[in-house]
Amino acid sequence: MKKILILTILLIFSKSFSQSKNFIDQAYLETEVEVDTLIVPDKIYLTITLNESDTKNKKSTEELENSMHKVLKSLNIDTEKDLSLVDFSSDLKKYLFSSQNILKTKMYSLLLRDAVTAGKVLAELEKSDISNVSIEKTEYSKAEQLLPELKAKAIIKAKESAEKMVKPLNQKIGKAIYISDLTFSISNQLQGKVAGIQIRGASSIYGARESEPILIEFNKIKFSSKVSVKFILD
């Protein structure tokens, strides 16, 4: 019984080794392909900071908050869904040591979905003495769905490239025996106040053309996928 068991194990090992060797010894062609696409961002995040010390008329944080809500509602923005409080603080330390009024600061995050609306929000907030507004980041809402689509395009392109390479040799490629997902990257996402954005109009040249609407142009977000595929050569 022991001899039969050892013989069976040796046969299985021998068969596995033979299959592995056959795989390695097969003639194959390896191609690496990268595909990319540019997408207009459809999620724009603004950070709105309300601070009593920022206004010329020394409006209270509550007054600024009311003004902000009025502006956003006038632009048909769903404040319950797209506006959230990020931070609320009071300068208690300064109050205790100088006996001055407490200075309150509130920070909000606002989600918008196009550059035109973002420009309108910036312009109307400025008219309401709310100028401490920055663009936090931009995103694409369907990024997760886009990933498998790009991978599929890269694999198809890899096959087309392999077919072109062997055509002058009067050969054909067979099935894919190895596929590796090398990289997937997202670039040109806006981070900070300036990178990836151009602002023209009232916010950039106040005074001479104050009535001109604010026009914002966002860089498109670049998505790319790189794959490596090995095809058997027939």
**Residue pLDDT, tens place only, 208-220:** 445 555 677 788 8
* Rounded distance between C-alpha atoms, residue 154 and residue 160, angstroms: 10
Whether the pLDDT of residue 186 is over 90: the answer is no
Q: Is 2 left (phi over 0), alpha (psi -120 to 50) or beta?
A: alpha
Domain boundaries, the chain: 25-41+141-234, 43-139
The chain-wide mean pLDDT, for the chain, equals 78
The hierarchical CATH code for the domain 43-139 is: 3.30.70.360
Residue 210 per-residue DSSP state: T
| Confidence (pTM) | 0.69
- Fold that domain 25-41+141-234 belongs to in CATH: Translation Initiation Factor IF3 (3.30.110)
| Residue 125: Cβ-neighbour burial (10 angstroms; 0-12, 13-18, 19+) | buried
> What number is the average pLDDT over the span 52-61?
73
- What per-residue string of b and e applies to 22-31 under the rule 16 or more CB within 10 Å gives b? eeeeeebbeb
pLDDT higher than threshold 90 for residue 73 = yes
Residue 182 has pLDDT above 90, yes or no: no
List pLDDT tens digits, range 133-174: 888 889 999 999 998 999 999 999 999 999 999 999 999 999
